[in-house]
Structure 1
Amino acid sequence: MIAYDDIERKMVLKLVYYGPAMSGKTTNLLQLHEQLQRNGRGDLMVLDTRDDRTIFFDLLPFFLVAPSGLKIKVKVYTVPGQVKHDATRKAVLQRADGVAFIADSQNRERANNVNSFSNLEDNLALVGLDIDTLPLVVQYNKRDLPDIVSEEEIHNSWQSTGIPVFCASALKGWGVVETFRQLVALTYARLDSRFRLAERHGLDRDAFVAGLVRPRGPRPVSVDGEGRYE
């Protein structure tokens, strides 16, 4: 549900990180915010809820400007993972232009992953978004921990869906930018089909992705000073 103003030639996109509690959504955004070039993102904003929190930042403090003059801004959000904050999750999902689902790789979290993805499907339908057409990527986080689901099982589970799946350790700082880059690329494809970004605005996919995803190298951060995931 892209926010587009043809008169002001401005477009604002919203990308959302979704998943079960403590799967590493917040850690992903903290790492992403840290790993992107400083002149390519704004400050983190934290919206506290009881026992959980939602964070977001403007990927670009100003705009990515296409050759035609079209200005594009991207906002990146997380949702609270706990079930009791489902109303907040729905609110954050509204008008989302793309979603990254962050699954927990630990074997003990299998059921939570399934329930959370089912909740994502339900909430997308409730806010009027079609999961079959919405840009969507899946990340299996916490690959640095013991007793995790095998990559072969992950591949077998998701291959038939056609959804891109990434393995990552957000705490260690790898797989974070790759996940985000693919989400941005998928979002471009949807934008181009609707707004003809390449034809009308001279902005092809490579330039769009390169303009939004400008890493400065992995700089792992600790969320709470003790190396734990959020």
Structure 2
Amino acid sequence: MALINPKKKEVQVKIVYYGPGRGGKTTNLEYINQKFKSRIKAEMVTVKTYGDRTLFFDFLPLDIGSINGYDIKIQFYTVPGQVKYNATRKLVLRGVDGIVFVADSMGLRREMNIRSLQNLEENLRSFNKDLSRIPLVFQYNKRDLAAHNIALLPLETMQQDLNAKLNAPYLEASAITGDNVALTMKKIISITIGSLKKKLEEK
């Protein structure tokens, strides 16, 4: 659940970009950081390993205005894709309000996408959370690679593999070119804020 500070009249919303290693999670945040620089009040924080891979997370705060007199602060995180850092992935997921699952469209990454989604569901269960009850957007990344004669998974296959049961919103995208990156971000913010408003009204 989002952190609500009644004194500051502020709501902190946590959105996590999840998915297999090298799928484009960090590239998404780097694009958002550049595109929305004027609304970002702090530097993007990245903790990397040897070889320039994300070890812990990328963190990017974004100010999106106010709802019902409360300032809404969005905090974006990514998780490391490598299997050996699962404890870190769990840690970053704690208190998550919304998730973007960044799937890799390359044909040879099909199994990695499926395993990563299973891992997400397992990690959420450790917090007694169900993925089907959390705001979620699928981003099918690297669609631009078709122009470079790289074999991509058909959209129908990715939908069947990842989204058949969840039936969440999805977008085809390219984090490198920025195609649909901002739209993915706006979609997950919209769904997450809508879900939080509903929860607050119920309370």
TM-score under structure 2 length normalisation? 0.88
- Counterpart residue number, 2:79: 79
Other-structure match for 1:40 = 39
Q: Name the CA distance, whole Å, in 2 between partners of 1:109 and 1:181.
A: 26
**2:175 alignment partner in structure 1:** 170
- Name the structure 2 match of 1:55: 58
Determine the C-alpha separation between the residues in 1 that align with 2:199 and 2:30: 31
Structure 1, residues 118-169: CA drift from partner, whole Å, max 9, x if none?
0000001112322121101111101112200112333455355321111111
Helix, strand or coil: the match of 1:148?
Answer: coil
How far the C-alpha of 1:45 sits from its partner, in A, is 0.6
Whole-Å Cα distance in 1 between the matches of residues 88 and 70 of structure 2?
Answer: 32
| SS across alignment from 2:14 | strand
Higher relative contact order (CA 8 A, sep 6+): 1
Per the normalisation by structure 1, the TM-score is 0.78
Tell me the residue number matched to 2:157: 153
1:64 partner letter: G
Residue 180 (structure 1) aligned with residue 185 (structure 2): yes
1:144 aligns to what SS in structure 2? helix
Describe the SS at the equivalent of 2:128: coil
Cα separation, 1, equivalents of 2:127 and 2:160? 30
Unaligned runs of 5+ in 1: 198-230
* Structure richer in strand, relative to its length: 2
Aligned to 1:65: 66
Work out the CA distance in 2 between the residues paired with 1:130 and 1:5: 26
More displaced stretch, 89-98 vs 8-17: 8-17
Provide the secondary structure at the position in 1 that maps to 2:191. Answer: helix
Task: Give 5+ residue unaligned stretches, structure 2.
Answer: none
CA deviation map 1:48-72 (0-9, x unaligned): 3455322111112xx7233x43122
Q: Percent identity?
A: 35
RMSD: 1.8
Aligned to 1:215: none
Give the alignment of 1:1-230 within 5 angstroms: 1-36=1-36, 38-41=37-40, 42-49=42-49, 52-53=53-54, 54-60=57-63, 64-66=65-67, 68-145=68-145, 146-157=150-161, 158-196=163-201
Structure 1 residues 21-63: Cα deviation after superposition (integer angstroms, max 9, x where no partner): 0001011111111122x22113111123455322111112xx7
